[in-house]
Amino acid sequence: MIYLIGYMGSGKSTVASLLSKKLNYEYIEMDQEIERKEGMEIPQIFKNYGEDYFRNAETDLLKSIRGKVIVSTGGGVILSKENRDWLIDQTVIFLDASFDTIDERLKEDTTRPLWSGQKEENKQRYQDRLPLYQSAATHTIKVDKKEPEEIAEEILSCLNI
């Protein structure tokens, strides 16, 4: 299993999809899988049940994944110490995008419940999470100004695959 972690908008889903094709591994996008299991989109889960409920569903899913899988985690998966502890024995790739890259990619995105229009609040959340991503990562790949294909190849190279 290979887990991709990183802030929302860092390219986890796109790169995970590419890696799964290159390695012939299954691909799981955790946010989509939670939406499928819950029968509603993440903003509705947050609205109806709250962030804690979503985070618990995220932990349950994380621990249930088995086999040859490329996993695109949700941006907040590392908020839980339980999740970080669980990821320690796994292959974890941190897609490290700068705040400016994230901000540019998400400026028109209204579907993410934790991406507000308040730039300073968004930047603070990003900065708070950065050390958590770094501590959970087996490998860190800088993604600014790189195409998804280039990032996928860099991951394969650092894993010697």
Give the CA count within 13 Å in the CB-facing half-sphere of 50.
3
CA neighbor of 15 nearest in space, from 128, 101, 142, 130: 142
Rounded average pLDDT over 104-109: 73
pLDDT tens digits, 25-73: 999 999 999 999 999 998 899 899 998 999 999 999 999 999 999 999 9
% of the chain residues with pLDDT over 90 = 75
What confidence score (pLDDT) does residue 67 get? 92
Q: Is the pLDDT of residue 110 over 60?
A: no
Domain encompassing residue 138: 2-158
Chain mean pLDDT for the chain: 91
Could you tell me which residue, 26 or 110, shows the higher pLDDT?
Answer: 26
* pLDDT value of residue 34: 97
pLDDT (average), residues 89-117? 80
CA atoms within 13 A on the CB side of 105: 16
pLDDT score, position 105: 79
Total domains present in the chain: 1
Domain with residue 138: its CATH number is: 3.40.50.300
pTM beyond 0.85, yes or no: yes
